[in-house]
Each structure stands twice: as structure tokens, then as C-alpha cells.
Amino acid sequence: MKYIFISLLFITCISVTYVYGGDDCFRKIGKAKAALLEAIDTLQRTNRLLGETGSAIPSNKVAFHARLTPYVTLGSAQTVIFDHVITNIGKAYNQHTGHFTAPFNGIYVFACTFLQTRGTGVHLQMVNNSSEISKGYGTSGSGEAGVMTAVIYLQKGDVVKVRHYPGKGSQTIHGHWSFFTGYLL
């Protein structure tokens, strides 16, 4: 690339010399060439830096996706801890507690897909602190799945989690086939 620029500069000089008979053009080439090489070098370094930061995820992004791996027999209002993190941009989801804690005020989208084990079915509830924002039921047929979704404005520090529906006795949720997802809109 830099050779094309330098060649162009030479061609311009030759043209200027031919047309106007000026010869200090060639004296200026040395200076111009040095300035040009420096500018190209700066551009290349800037480009590398932009490339590095351009591929990083901006710090205001929040998105998580996690899978439940064990089968869990849930007691009343027990939190479902989706233990296997697939995505956790912004680290707002905690795979040890099952809590998503909003890092900023904003509109968030949540979803949960889950499978019951044969027999009892499974009732779940999605809550913001303790207020219900969604609920779902995987019926007791064979391999019936349940779904919950919510769109909600959260204040920084509000906690969203999935828990067993209060008062439903003990029910088992299927490992590997249950996921919890959320992101800042």
C-alpha cells in the first residue's frame, strides 16, 4: 500500500516538473515520503487497536443463558439453580444461586423452557424478588414441556429467578432439558 502512495507522489512530481519545470519538487519528496510513512504507520496502529477493541463486547451488554443439568426434586418455592452457564455476558447471572441481578435500570427479557419428568408434572414461577412475572406448567403427560416468558422494567439490584410454584408439593424437574435465558433489551 505504502509503495503505491510513494509511486503516486513520484508520478505527481514528474508531472509537475514536466508541466511547470519546477525542480524543488524532488527535494521535497524526501520530507513528504517520511511524513507519509509515519502517517501510514499511525493508521496501521490505529487500525490494529480498533480491531482489538472492536471485537470486544461493550461493557453495557447483559445477556445470559444457562442449562439445568441435574434432575431436581423441588420443594415449595425452591429456587431452580440452572448450574451450567452457556452465556453470561456482564456476569449478572449467578449459577450457584440461580439469581439474575439487574446491573442497570432497563427493560429486560426473560425466558425459561423446562421439561417435567413422568408422573407429577412440574409447576414453575418466574419472580422479580417475590412478585410473580410469569408462570408455567409442564403437564404430567409423557415428556410435556413448559414455557415462561417475561418482559419487565427492572431497577438496578432487582433479582429475577425461577422457582417452584409455592404450594405444589414435591415435583421433579428434568435435568439437561431445562434452560433459563435473559438479556437487557
Number of residues that bind ligand NAG (CB under 6 A): 7
Q: Which residues of 141-165 are buried (b: 16+ CB within 10 A; e: fewer)?
A: eeeebbebebebebeeebbbbbbbb
Q: Which residues pair with residue 160 across a beta bridge? A: 100, 128
Half-sphere exposure of residue 74: CA atoms within 13 angstroms, side-chain side: 29
DSSP-based three-state secondary structure for 10 = helix
Question: Least separation, in Å, of the C-beta of 128 and ligand NAG?
Answer: 4
Stretch that binds ligand NAG, among 31-39, 103-111, 125-133, 162-170 (CB under 6 A): 125-133
Question: Least separation, in Å, of the C-beta of 173 and ligand NAG?
Answer: 21
Task: State which of residues 46, 69, 129, 139 lies at the interface with ligand NAG (CB under 6 A).
Answer: 129
Question: Least separation, in Å, of the C-beta of 156 and ligand NAG?
Answer: 11
DSSP-based three-state secondary structure for 70 = coil
Question: Least separation, in Å, of the C-beta of 141 and ligand NAG?
Answer: 32
Rule CB under 6 A: is residue 158 a binding residue for ligand NAG?
yes
Half-sphere exposure of residue 157: CA atoms within 13 angstroms, side-chain side: 0
Rule CB under 6 A: is residue 153 a binding residue for ligand NAG?
yes
The nearer residue to ligand NAG, 26 or 153, going by C-beta atoms, is 153
Rule CB under 6 A: is residue 109 a binding residue for ligand NAG?
no
Question: Least separation, in Å, of the C-beta of 89 and ligand NAG?
Answer: 21
Q: Which cell numbers in the block locate residue 110?
A: 426473560
Distance CA 150, CA 132 (A): 10
Rule CB under 6 A: is residue 159 a binding residue for ligand NAG?
yes
Distance CA 44, CA 41 (A): 5
Site for ligand NAG in 133-152 (CB under 6 A): 152
Rule CB under 6 A: is residue 131 a binding residue for ligand NAG?
yes
